[in-house]
Amino acid sequence: MEVRARAPGKIILAGEHAVVHGSAAVAASIDLYTYVSLRFPTPADNDETLTLQLKDVSLEFSWPVARIKEAFPNSETQIPPSSCSLETLKLIASLVDEHNIPEAKIGLAAGVTAFLWLFTSIHGCKPAKAVVSSELPLGSGLGSSAAFCVALSAAILALSDSVTMEFSHQGWQVFGENELELVNKWAFEGEKIIHGKPSGIDNTVSTYGNMIKFKSGHLTRLKTNMPLKMLITNTKVGRNTKALVASVSERTLRHPTAMASVFTAVDSISSEVAAIIQSPVPDDLAITEKEEKLEELMEMNQGLLQCMGVSHASIETVLRTTLKYKLSSKLTGAGGGGCVLTLLPTLLSGTVVDKVIAELEACGFQCLLAGIGGNGVEISFSGTS
């Protein structure tokens, strides 16, 4: 039997980085997904390897199960989810190192390590093949790392004894609440391996979908009927979330009082964004007023992200370009390059949208309009057991 899982990427409307330090943040899922298919070989396959195929980067990693047992002698299935100790991380890293990942793609090692930790923790040392592909740009602020961990955790758990719910064998299906909680906890452990110190917002919004407020590990699901359209501009400047999160923590150590004020300001912005998004929208005038408030809050949040040191020349170019059309923007995700959000007001003409996209693309950026607030992780079965 083969299981497929798909988990969405996300945008952060307010509060990135500050959320790692206890402030509130608001995020929404987007309709771009990471897909994982997982199957166990049949006896006829005579396959004794654990394989991870990463289609987006055209790499495949395969280990004989005996080699994993040898490198990792104390591996045991973990119930409930637990963190990967430093010692185990080193053992897994030695398995990943055997594959000589090209230097330019070294950021992938953390993802491969997360896979090995999630798989062996849930299934032990067993042959299997996982195939990953994504519609998300990797390392761009749209939460590819979280979607990777959520889709992997969902697929791995779906074929484990930890999930006992009955599934029909047709189309994409959602897990029950208990299963979602388990997927989210495991995915968080994977994100820890990739991000170092994640807040948990990315894996949570990828698991549950829709729009959420997140503070100190606590999730509030937001209900909204406000139409929200965002242009996503990928500067295509590569960066690494782990390094950016660490740089904000270092600045916080150097300037604890000033940074505490920055984080408090972001907390208020996120709470206001959540309140605006949730309040009823009786008419077009009310929508315009709300959009104007959101635009101002996005600009304020961007200013504070600059204070944290995570903006970038490419991000500033997007801000200046969109401002020419009186549109407000902020970086989304870890910054340092990556993606920028621009609010597209409901009454904005299509011609202006086309012009701003043309100007951004002429700078070498890539624009996309994704659907916001769809389902979280889903799974689908095929084949017979």
Interacting residues with ligand PMV (CB under 6 A): 16-17, 19-20, 141-143, 145, 195, 198-199, 201-202, 241, 245, 333-334
User: Which of helix, strand or coil describes residue 331?
Assistant: strand
235-254: contacts with ligand ADP (CB under 6 A): 240-241
d(CA 183, CA 201): 14
Nearest one of 35, 10, 15, 7 to 269, comparing CA atoms: 15
Q: Which residue is nearest to Mg ion (CB)?
A: 145
Exposed, middle or buried by CB within 10 Å (0-12, 13-18, 19+), for 103? Answer: exposed
Q: Are 208 and 177 in contact (CB under 8 A)?
A: no
Instruction: Out of 194, 232, 304, 377, name the contact with ligand ADP by CB under 6 A.
Output: 194
Residue 269: name its binding partner from Mg ion, ligand ADP, ligand PMV, none (Cβ under 5 to 8 Å by kind): none
The amino acid occupying position 13 is L
Measured from the CB atom, is 37 or 145 closer to Mg ion?
145
- Structure letter (DSSP) for residue 232: E
Q: Specify the residue, 75 or 204, whose C-beta has the smaller distance to ligand PMV.
A: 204
Residue 63: CA count within 13 A, CB half-sphere: 25
What residues contact residue 270 under an 8 Å CB cut-off, 6+ apart?
14, 15, 18, 19, 23, 24, 25, 26, 213, 215
Which one, 119 or 263, has the nearer CB to ligand PMV? 263
Among 8, 81, 127, 141, binds ligand ADP (CB under 6 A): 141
Strands, sheet with 230-234, edge to edge from the N-terminal-most edge strand: 329-332, 339-343, 230-234, 366-368
If one asks whether residue 312 binds ligand ADP (CB under 6 A), the answer comes out as no
Chain positions contacting Mg ion, by CB under 5 A: 145, 241
> Could you say whether residue 134 binds ligand ADP (CB under 6 A)?
yes
In order of 101, 157, 159, 369, the CA distances from 61 in angstroms are 10, 21, 21, 34
Measured from the CB of residue 89, what is the shortest distance to ligand ADP in angstroms?
A: 14
Q: Report cis status (omega within 30 of 0) of the bond before 80.
A: yes
Site string for ligand ADP, 64-103 (x = CB under 6 A): ----------------------------------------
- Distance in Å, CB of 242 to Mg ion, minimum: 8
Is the Cβ of residue 5 or residue 356 nearer to Mg ion in the bound state? 5
| Minimum CB–partner distance for residue 211 and ligand PMV (Å) | 16
Shortest distance in whole angstroms from residue 202 CB to Mg ion: 6
Task: Specify whether the CB–CB gap between 26 and 14 falls below 8 A.
Answer: yes
Q: How far is the CB of 103 from Mg ion (least distance, A)?
A: 21
Q: What angle do CA 132, 133, 139 make, to 5 degrees?
A: 100
Q: Which does 34 bind (CB under 5 to 8 A by kind): Mg ion, ligand PMV, ligand ADP, none?
A: ligand ADP
Could you say whether residue 110 binds ligand ADP (CB under 6 A)? Answer: yes
β-pairing verdict for 128-134 and 49-54: parallel
Structure tokens at 270: 């996120």
Given the residues 45, 161, 202, 267, the one annotated as active site: 202
Report the alpha-carbon distance of residue 117 to residue 121 in Å, rounded. 6
Least separation in angstroms between residue 288's CB and ligand ADP is 32
Note whether 373 binds ligand ADP by CB under 6 A.
no
Q: How far apart are CA 352 and CA 69, in angstroms?
A: 59
User: Any contact of residue 195 with ligand ADP (CB under 6 A)?
Assistant: yes
Q: Is 202 a catalytic residue?
A: yes
Asked whether 269 and 223 are in contact (CB, 8 A), the reply is: no
By beta-carbon proximity to ligand ADP, the closer residue of 131 and 273 is 131
Nearer to Mg ion, 332 or 380 (CB): 332
CB of 232 to Mg ion, least distance (A): 15
Shortest spacing between CB 199 and ligand PMV, in angstroms: 3
What are the tokens at 65?
């199960």
Give the interface segment with ligand ADP, choosing from 140-148, 262-270, 317-325, 348-356 (CB under 6 A).
140-148
DSSP string for 295-319? HHHHHHHHHHHHHHT---HHHHHHH
Report the amino acid identity of residue 306: Q
For ligand ADP, the binding residues (CB under 6 A) are 34, 54, 56-57, 107-108, 110-111, 132, 134, 138-145, 148, 194-195, 240-241, 333
- Give the active site residues: 202
